[in-house]
Amino acid sequence: MSIAEEIQRLHELHLAGALTADEFAEAKMRLLSQEAHRPREDHVGRFRRARNDRWLGGVCGGLARISGIESWIWRVLLVLLVLTFGFGLAIYIVLWIFVPEEETDWTYKNE
């Protein structure tokens, strides 16, 4: 649940009479202070080539994972860059070389 949804839920409780104005303000401040101290995720540092969503090197799968855009859209954009400007292939090769592949979790479960 997002912070906005939690604040909305608190507001509804306040309107229903379950929370006083002071309790609502205190709970809201607590939520906002927790959000301020929550560490932000660094998407650039998490960019990895995908192992399971790949056609060649996994670059488009990795871009899809960090951007939230489907990998097929990244593939179409890359092909368009290759066909129109010619430097799409160079971008893909550079990303393939310098972006590390995501690590696998090699934990085996006992059967």
Nearest of 26, 32, 30, 1 to residue 14 by alpha carbon: 26
**Block residue for tokens 């949804």:** 5
pTM of the model: 0.50
For 75-91, write each residue's pLDDT tens digit: 898 889 889 887 888 88
Q: How many residues does the chain have?
A: 111
CA distance 14 to 52: 47
* pLDDT on residue 71: 84
